[in-house]
Structure 1
Amino acid sequence: MAYAMLEKFEKYWGDYSTLLAIVIVLDPRYMMVLVRLAFSKLSIPVEVEASIKEIYDTLVKMYKF
Structure 2
Amino acid sequence: MARVATGLGLRELAAQAEVSPNTISRLERGEELRASTIEIIQAVFERAGVVFLEDDGRGPGVRVRSL
- TM (normalized to structure 2)? 0.31
Q: From the two aligned structures, give the one with the greater helix fraction.
A: 1
- TM (normalized to structure 1)? 0.32
